[in-house]
Amino acid sequence: MPNSYKGIGPYQEYSLMSVRLIIACGGTGGHLFPGIAVAEALIKKGGVPLLIISQKEIDALAMEGHSDLEYECLASIGMPKFYSPKMLKFLKSFFMGYKKSKKIIKDFRADAVLGMGGFTSVPPLIAGRKKKLKNFIHESNAFPGKANRVAARWADHILLGMSPCEKFFKNKETMVVGTPLRSILREAHDRSMAIANFGLRADKKTILVMGGSQGAQALNTSIVHNLDKIKDAGMQILHITGPNDYDRITSYYENYQDISKVIPFCNEMHLAYVASDLAIVRSGASSLAEISAYEIPAILVPYPFATDDHQTLNANYYVKNGAARLIKEEQLNTDSLFSFIDELFKDDGKYYREMKTSMKNLSRVDSAEKICDKIKNLCN
């Protein structure tokens, strides 16, 4: 993957007073896309971002859609257990990442470093501390990831997606800003056009089903076992299966093509959200931030193997605030899932409307701007 950053030259059009920010955000979509959102917002405010991403394929694919953003690459690293034979390789990659980060910071003439989580963000933060730059961490989840727990010692300020996370950074200055959303997810889009884009009907309520970028077999299976009930209730489904489960799931929809659109992956999530009335999804922080921006009530099925069970903690935050219902994966069955769906629309949709209002109250569509303002104020 070619690096697009060529040194100080491309940025001469900007004022020397603008903030030059390194955003370390590679490794997963949950770190990368919020980092891209901050970069977009910073450019609009006259700042100069440089992304540091990993060498994973997902990072390369994401950057193909953002040719206007400059970036550098570090090796993808994940911290193994202390006595693991992989520890030596980790330490070597970590040290190489630190050396490269020091050079990037020097060449770019950075004012600050923002780490979005994941161990790809840690070497730039340590290098930033060595250079006496302002260091920031953003944590999207209700429970902080291991990398951010480690990196917090080199951070001046902790920026949070959810308030329950504050208690894990007691000795640091924290600020709840929400999880940044890419600009396309904050633009106005026509609902009728979105529904037509997926070949769905405007007179039916649409249920959006997705299990994350890799899909979710148990969630997918539970949905297809409810197709008769969903059809009888006059609803339709936009089902994003994930590429690994697409062939299996499409076979269930042969007799339900009039109430469904089934796709393995979606590159137009802004249209998917606009078209949807209810979301049945995992509870990753980015997905939750996105559905709250579109005020979509949700039935959340946390991924049971998420590190530190952070998806359940995320879901609990939304449930506590009245914006979602939670059902554990092991409790998924034909009756339990549809009973949740049916309950939302009882009493002329009273409960649904209350959840929609609660989702709106949790939305923080200006998160990226808040992060940029905080960084610019402290750097200036």
195 shares a domain with 158: no
Of the listed ranges 36-40, 227-231, 345-349, the least confidently predicted one is 345-349
Q: How many domains does the chain have?
A: 2
pLDDT of residue 214: 57
- Choose between 16 and 43: higher pLDDT: 43
229 shares a domain with 162: no
Q: What is the DSSP string of 309-363?
A: GHHHHHHHHHHHTTSEEE--GGG--HHHHHHHHHHHTHHHHHHHHHHHHHHHHH-
pLDDT at 127 over 60: yes
- Does residue 151 belong to any structural domain of this protein? yes
- Does residue 106 belong to any structural domain of this protein? yes
310 — pLDDT class (breaks 50, 70, 90) = very high
- Choose between 211 and 271: higher pLDDT: 271
- Does residue 4 belong to any structural domain of this protein? no
pLDDT of residue 174: 97
- Does residue 120 belong to any structural domain of this protein? yes
224 shares a domain with 177: no
262 shares a domain with 223: yes
pLDDT of residue 28: 81
358 shares a domain with 370: no
207 shares a domain with 150: no
Mean pLDDT over 334-357 rounds to: 90
- Does residue 150 belong to any structural domain of this protein? yes
29 shares a domain with 177: yes
Q: Which two tokens stand for residue 2?
A: 């070619």
Residues 133-188 pLDDT 10s: 999 999 999 999 999 999 999 999 999 999 999 999 998 999 999 999 999 999 98
CB 145 within 8 A of CB 162: no
Spatial separation of the C-alpha atoms in residues 268 and 60, rounded to whole Å: 18
pLDDT of residue 347: 83
pLDDT at 317 over 50: yes
Mean pLDDT over 341-345 rounds to: 91
Residue 327's region, left for phi above 0, alpha for psi from -120 to 50, else beta, is beta
pLDDT of residue 215: 57
199 shares a domain with 144: no
- Choose between 265 and 125: higher pLDDT: 125
Give the three-state DSSP class for 26: coil
Residues 223-259 pLDDT 10s: 999 999 999 999 999 999 988 899 999 999 999 999 9
| 207 phi/psi in degrees, rounded to 5 | -100, 120
60 shares a domain with 192: no
Average pLDDT, the chain: 90
pLDDT of residue 5: 41
Domain, as residue range, for 373: 9-182+365-379
125 shares a domain with 39: yes
- What b/e readout covers 51-70, taking b as 16+ CB neighbours within 10 angstroms? bbbbebebbeebbeebeebb
pLDDT at 213 over 80: no
Whichever domain contains 135, its CATH number is: 3.40.50.2000
Spatial separation of the C-alpha atoms in residues 30 and 140, rounded to whole Å: 8
Mean pLDDT over 283-292 rounds to: 95
- Does residue 2 belong to any structural domain of this protein? no
Of the listed ranges 5-14, 48-57, 72-81, the least confidently predicted one is 5-14
CB 24 within 8 A of CB 52: yes
pTM of the model: 0.89
pLDDT of residue 7: 40
Helix 285-293 / helix 29-44 crossing angle, nearest 10 deg: 50
Spatial separation of the C-alpha atoms in residues 29 and 232, rounded to whole Å: 36
Spatial separation of the C-alpha atoms in residues 1 and 53, rounded to whole Å: 11
- Does residue 1 belong to any structural domain of this protein? no
- Does residue 3 belong to any structural domain of this protein? no
274 shares a domain with 245: yes
202 shares a domain with 54: no
